Amino acid sequence: MAGDGEFDFIRTRLLPLTEGDPAALGLRDDAALLRPEPGHEIVLACDSLVAGVHFLDGDAPAVVAARALRTNLSDLAAMGARPRAYLSAIAWPEALDAPWRTAFVDALHVEQRAFGLALIGGDTTSTPGPLTLSMTLVGEVQTGTAIQRSGAVQGDEVWVSGVIGDGYLGLQAARGDRPDLPGALPGSLARYQAPEPRLGLGQALRGLASAAIDVSDGLLADAGHIATASGCGLVIDPEAVPVSATATAWLGSGGELATLLTGGDDYELLFTVPAACRDRVEALARHGDVALTRIGVVQTGEGAVLRHRDGRLMQPGKAGFTHF
């Protein structure tokens, strides 16, 4: 079901985003037709982003496009998959005029090129509600090598990529809620506006990590997801968690570390590795483009806890993050 406006938009604006990928069938058909690489499995991640829920109503088209692709790519990264293509289902509110839509599609094009993606399908429709984007990312991984959340075992060590804290603080910056920290926030803001999916790291962790997840609900909550899926307990040392420069400044002015460890949206990879393989992770960190830090251990028990080296538990007010 579509009006002429939709067909024009698809033909003039979206068709270039297929990059000539034969799977897209020129966006003329009812569906995309994907020929899998022999010996590979297909990885499918599908998340919706709603204006006012997953991004701010006033966010620029480029921010919305970047977050829509990158947060979904982060899911592929956590499984060690190589991204290949995507389908976009876009529900446009009338208030977003043609220039906004064009800017959004142009930004999507820039983003997808950065990740070697092609648009292969989806639809556009109107909505009386907020802009709603459902992206279905299609990745591939050699059969049997995908990293899952369920493989952590007692004795494994817990690692995290990059730094934590910019997810939470960047959102505050985007909302204009942190006038007390104007100088330190641009770095965090950039991380909110264009999170970095750790695709190269995810692929390098295949055959090494026993479990992995991307930090989207908050480091503690996501550690809990691995614990639940793996049937064990994760103990995280809060002092060991690497925090960003902005976060360091924020903590110095009275901010609570627990807030950052439950604040979500960092899109770093949290993963577990057998202790015997520690040197391989350290080699990855030396030769890769992102720092890797050991922050805890896998034990018997259930769930995830933050425990200082002296044994004290850090009790966050709330584990997890329910949007904003």
Interacting positions 182-241 with its own copies (CB under 8 A): 213-214, 216-217, 225, 228-229
Single out the segment in contact with its own copies by CB under 8 A; choices: 3-11, 179-187, 251-259, 295-303: 3-11
Q: Which is nearer to its own copies, 4 or 97 (CB)?
A: 4
Q: Does 169 bind its own copies (CB under 8 A)?
A: no
Question: Smallest distance from the beta carbon of 3 to its own copies, in angstroms?
Answer: 3
Helix 61-78 with 98-114: angle, nearest 10 deg: 30
Q: Which is nearer to its own copies, 44 or 276 (CB)?
A: 44
Question: Smallest distance from the beta carbon of 290 to its own copies, in angstroms?
Answer: 18
Distance CA 196, CA 162 (A): 10
Q: Does 175 bind its own copies (CB under 8 A)?
A: no
Positions in 147-166 near its own copies (CB under 8 A): 148-150
Question: Smallest distance from the beta carbon of 286 to its own copies, in angstroms?
Answer: 27
Positions in 250-309 near its own copies (CB under 8 A): 264-265
Q: How far is CA 69 from the centre of its chain?
A: 9
Please check whether residue 86 is in contact with residue 120, taking contact to mean a CB–CB distance below 8 angstroms. yes
Single out the segment in contact with its own copies by CB under 8 A; choices: 129-137, 235-243, 245-253, 272-280: 129-137
How many residues sit close enough to its own copies to count as binding (CB under 8 A)?
A: 75
Q: Which is nearer to its own copies, 18 or 216 (CB)?
A: 216
Q: Does 34 bind its own copies (CB under 8 A)?
A: yes
Tokens (6 digits) for 295: 């922050």
Q: Work out the number of other CB atoms within 10 angstroms of the CB of residue 148.
A: 17
> Exposed e or buried b for every residue in 60-91, given b needs 16+ CB within 10 A?
ebbbbbbbbbbbbbbbbbbbbbbbbbbbbbbb
Phi/psi for 157 (5° steps) reads: -105, 150
Positions in 48-77 near its own copies (CB under 8 A): 48, 50, 52-54, 74-76
Q: Which is nearer to its own copies, 29 or 180 (CB)?
A: 29
Please check whether residue 281 is in contact with residue 135, taking contact to mean a CB–CB distance below 8 angstroms. no
Q: Does 9 bind its own copies (CB under 8 A)?
A: no
Distance CA 54, CA 258 (A): 22
Q: Does 138 bind its own copies (CB under 8 A)?
A: yes
Distance CA 297, CA 274 (A): 10
Question: Smallest distance from the beta carbon of 56 to its own copies, in angstroms?
Answer: 13
Can you say whether the dihedral through the CA atoms of 59, 16, 6, 35 is positive or negative?
Answer: negative
**Near its own copies by CB under 8 A: residue from 10, 66, 90, 205:** 90
Phi/psi for 301 (5° steps) reads: 105, -160
